């Protein structure tokens, strides 16, 4: 596919010079033959050049890029231009990439000899998750005499998937594996003797609990023998993720939904490392997406591939319907994590949903609180507009606390937190539950 021929700057400059010569010839008759000859020569050259330029250049374009990109990071794209024709080509290269992304390195001017190729590399930074596509490249090819130019669209389309930047999530998780610090979100290692799954018998050591002594083995061996336990494995962790309109709320540049998705992937990574199966169900959006719990790396990969293109919709969540749907899909007891943005009108519906699921599963609810509310409450009030804003914020937060109180959920089963702290809070709560053997 190609656009119409357009005159180049060179041709426009020639036409301008010929017009100036004509103006001079109108005053100096001796210049008329020169003006006529120059015009005829320019016309013949322009027509001949246009005749050659009308043909599609024998160019082959190949695009090289990864099929999966992390969001918010710079990624490389390489275009290889193969000149399979008999004449040299001068061109400017533009690529058909998603226009909302940041780009570095285009347009690019190239001179390609016959039988040669040029490799052009540029960089893109995607700004959101989901599928993305590239169209055929745009090539503005100049004619042999540089009097005309024509844009051709050559090459194949390409499709990629833009995933959450899991390397950052993994780094945050691994950096916290050596200690437990709630303010920093660190993770506690399993201590000797903790957990509820029997691991082995061994000799008693200083610091062991008296409750862990196996008295039969002690009598048989004539020395203190202790039972050593480890954290429970082979459990199910299932996320019930709200994809309704409230998750469209944004703190800084990141939506509440993207914070929630990062928390899901972080805890999912940790849970599969602990030997648990990880699953997910969405509610409140245009579709219900169900990913049955799967153990190991396959479960994590399936989770990542299943949520990378999820986006919240302008719809209201139905908590009770979501709870009923989940109960119908889960046969084994699971640790269910509800992630939503609670409002005071939700207290009855969410409470009924939690009670319904708690009859069979261990349920916790994480409600995202707008970070701007905490910032507004902490600001000094020195204007009338600031006073109105402060009072409205306090009133909203009071209503929110009252709605949470009416839920009747125990404190350890409810997390009311700003989105940026959600991942750490869920990880710590999960480890508390694992170590206590509540599942």
Q: What is the mean pLDDT of residues 283-290?
A: 89
* Torsion over CA: 32, 33, 36, 42 (sign): negative
Q: Higher-confidence residue: 397 or 184?
A: 397
Is residue 359 over pLDDT 50? yes
Per-residue pLDDT reduced to its tens digit, 35-53: 999 999 999 999 998 898 8
**Cα-based distances in Å from 128 to 124, 257, 308, 310:** 12, 12, 10, 11
Residue 141: predicted pLDDT: 92
The CATH fold assigned to 166-189+232-436 is Rossmann fold (3.40.50)
Q: Please tell me the distance from the alpha carbon of residue 258 to that of residue 251, in angstroms, as a whole number.
A: 10
Residue 411: predicted pLDDT: 67
Residue 291: predicted pLDDT: 94
Is residue 273 over pLDDT 90? no
Tokens of 191: 């201590």
Contact of 322 with 353, CB cutoff 8 Å: yes
What SS3 class is residue 67? coil
Indicate the domain borders of the chain: 1-163, 166-189+232-436, 201-228
Instruction: Tell me which residue of 365, 369, 370, 438 sits closest to 407, measured CA to CA.
Output: 365
Residue 65: predicted pLDDT: 94
DSSP letters for 38-88: HHHHHHHHHHHHHHHHTSPP-EEEEEE--SEEETTS-EEEEEEEEE-SSS-
Q: What percent of the chain has pLDDT over 70?
A: 86
Residue 131: predicted pLDDT: 93
Is residue 324 over pLDDT 90? yes
Residue 140: predicted pLDDT: 92
Q: Which overall architecture, per CATH, does domain 1-163 show?
A: Sandwich (2.60)
Tokens of 274: 């602990």
Residue 414: predicted pLDDT: 85
Per-residue pLDDT reduced to its tens digit, 154-172: 999 999 999 988 777 666 5
Looking only at the bridges linking them, the beta strands covering 89-96 and 108-112 are antiparallel
Residue 400: predicted pLDDT: 72
pLDDT category of residue 229 using cuts at 50, 70 and 90: low
Q: What is the mean pLDDT of residues 80-97?
A: 92
Q: Can you give the three-state secondary structure of 297-349, one letter per residue?
A: HHHHHHHHHHHCCCCCCCCCCCHHHHHHHHHHHCCCCCEEEEEECCCHHHHHH
Is residue 78 over pLDDT 90? yes
Q: What is the mean pLDDT of residues 73-93?
A: 93
Residue 41: predicted pLDDT: 93
């Amino acid at each position: 596919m190609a656009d119409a021929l357009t005159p180049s700057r060179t041709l426009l400059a020639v036409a301008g010079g010929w017009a100036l010569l004509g103006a001079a010839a109108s005053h100096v008759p001796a210049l008329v033959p020169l003006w006529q000859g120059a015009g005829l020569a320019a016309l013949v050259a322009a027509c001949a050049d246009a005749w050659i330029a009308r043909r599609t250049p024998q160019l082959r374009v190949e695009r090289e890029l990864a099929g999966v990109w992390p969001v918010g990071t710079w990624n490389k794209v390489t275009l290889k231009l193969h000149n399979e024709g008999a004449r040299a080509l001068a061109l400017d290269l533009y690529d058909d990439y998603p226009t909302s992304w940041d780009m570095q390195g285009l347009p690019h001017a190239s001179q390609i000899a016959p039988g040669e190729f040029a490799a052009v590399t540029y960089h893109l930074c995607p700004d959101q998750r989901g599928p993305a596509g590239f169209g055929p490249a745009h090539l503005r090819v100049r004619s042999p005499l540089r009097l005309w130019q024509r844009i051709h669209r050559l090459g194949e389309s390409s499709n990629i998937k833009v995933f959450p930047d899991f390397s950052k999530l993994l780094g945050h998780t691994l950096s916290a594996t050596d200690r437990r610090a709630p303010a920093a979100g660190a993770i506690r290692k399993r201590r000797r003797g903790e957990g509820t799954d029997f691991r082995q018998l061994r000799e008693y050591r200083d610091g062991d609990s008296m409750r862990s002594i196996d008295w039969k083995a002690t009598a048989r061996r004539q020395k203190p023998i202790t039972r050593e336990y480890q954290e429970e494995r082979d459990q199910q962790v299932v996320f019930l993720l709200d994809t309704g309109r409230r998750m469209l709320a944004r703190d800084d540049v990141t939506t509440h939904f993207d914070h929630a998705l990062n928390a899901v992937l972080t805890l999912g990574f940790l849970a599969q490392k602990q030997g648990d199966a990880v699953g997910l169900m969405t509610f409140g959006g245009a579709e219900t997406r169900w990913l049955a719990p799967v153990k190991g790396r396959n479960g994590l990969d399936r989770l990542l591939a299943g949520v990378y293109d999820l986006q919240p919709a302008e719809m209201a969540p139905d908590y009770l319907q979501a709870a009923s749907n989940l109960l119908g899909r889960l046969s084994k007891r699971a640790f269910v994590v509800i992630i939503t943005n609670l409002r005071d009108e939700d207290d009855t519906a969410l409470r009924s949903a939690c009670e319904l699921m708690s009859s069979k599963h261990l349920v916790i609810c994480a409600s995202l609180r707008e970070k701007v509310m905490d910032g507004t409450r902490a600001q000094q009030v020195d204007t009338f507009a600031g006073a109105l804003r402060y009072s409205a914020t306090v009133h909203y937060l009071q209503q929110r606390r009252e709605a949470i109180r009416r839920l009747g959920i125990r404190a350890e089963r409810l997390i009311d937190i700003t989105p940026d702290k959600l991942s750490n809070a869920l990880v710590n709560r999960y480890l508390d539950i694992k170590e206590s053997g509540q599942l």
